[in-house]
Structure 1
Amino acid sequence: MKKYLTLLFLCSISFAKIGAAEAIVVLANTADKSIQLNRQQVRNLFMGGVIPYDLQAVALPPKNQTRVLFNTKIVGLTESRIQSYWAQMRFTGRKREPKEVDNESSVLEYLKNNEGAVGYLPAGISVPDSLTVVYTIQ
């Protein structure tokens, strides 16, 4: 019985860590620290739609786990559907896709150096004072 309780305890800890790893923060480099976005505004920003702020999206590469979670939880499309969408937008010249950087540390560096830039990173990272959390995805 003691073995089962220990196993149950270890499983609950692992699931708690997995849940925490799935949380994502959307950060912005903006002078207005009061900006808060909702889910639809974040989706519009990363899919080329209109939002009431002058912000530029920065994305991670397609195989990145944080990007997969972001696409699932915010955009609501698979990577292949998103790639198809952007291929159509490039062909017609209607919208520009987010700038893509190599990894999470590159996103953080890009955000710190470019005012108006917005990107997403795993929750739990240390957020520099120059950046603002504009949305949190649980």
Structure 2
Amino acid sequence: MNWMIKAVWILLAFSGSLYAGDILVVVSKDSPVDTITKRELVDLYMGRSHSLPDGSPVMKIDAPVDSPVRAEFYQALIGMKVSEVNAYWARLMFTGRATPPMSVTKPEDVAGLLARNPSALGYLPEDSENEQLKTIFVIKEDQGAP
């Protein structure tokens, strides 16, 4: 019985996000967008806006469903767990009001999609920076939700 209590405590300790570090919100280096506000980012990723700050349509990219970066992104940006975000999007899709960001299956697919599409917007861990992308916003490791 004692080992079960320890196991529960260990699971609880690791049930949060395992990603630690800044998250870069990035676009293609060919994108006309150079900056975005946190409010604009929230509106885009929560389906309240469908265009980049310059007015052009946007293709939002989400990290893989089980990615620690995705969990940290939504927690830091809006204070929601991925399961809560999924439930939110299920309601919006059911009513036909919006479609969720496109989720990739592998983390490395995010950078490739962003580099090839000037209207795409996504996020990556800080150690994923590359010359094909430009950072337009940084979610700091210690930055909380609004």
Instruction: Quote the residue 1:38 is aligned against.
Output: 37
Query: Which structure would you say has the larger Rg?
Result: 1
Residue identity (%): 26
| Per-residue CA distance 1:57-115 (angstroms, 9 max, x = gap) | 10012210000110110122111211111111111110110001012210001111122
Q: Secondary structure at the match of 1:136?
A: strand
Instruction: Quote the residue 2:64 is aligned against.
Output: 61
| Per-residue CA distance 1:37-64 (angstroms, 9 max, x = gap) | 1111111111112253332210012210
Asked if 2 retains the 8 angstrom alpha-carbon contact of 1:21 and 1:123, the reply is no
Asked if 1 retains the 8 angstrom alpha-carbon contact of 2:25 and 2:137, the reply is yes
User: Does residue 106 in structure 1 map to residue 109 in structure 2?
Assistant: yes
User: Does residue 126 in structure 1 map to residue 126 in structure 2?
Assistant: no
Q: 1:73 aligns with which of 52, 76, 83?
A: 76
TM-score, scaled relative to structure 2:
0.73
Structure with the larger helix share: 1
Change (3 A) 1:61 1:31: closer
CA RMSD of aligned residues (A): 1.8
C-alpha displacement of 1:133: 0.8
Structure 2 segments unaligned to the other structure (5+ residues): 1-18, 141-146
TM-score, scaled relative to structure 1:
0.77
In structure 1, C-alpha distance between the alignment counterparts of 2:78 and 2:62, rounded to whole Å: 12
Change (3 A) 1:63 1:31: closer
Runs of 4+ in 1 over 3 A off after TM superposition: none
In structure 2, C-alpha distance between the alignment counterparts of 1:23 and 1:87, rounded to whole Å: 28
Instruction: Quote the residue 1:91 is aligned against.
Output: 94
In structure 2, C-alpha distance between the alignment counterparts of 1:76 and 1:56, rounded to whole Å: 23
Count residues with an aligned counterpart: 117
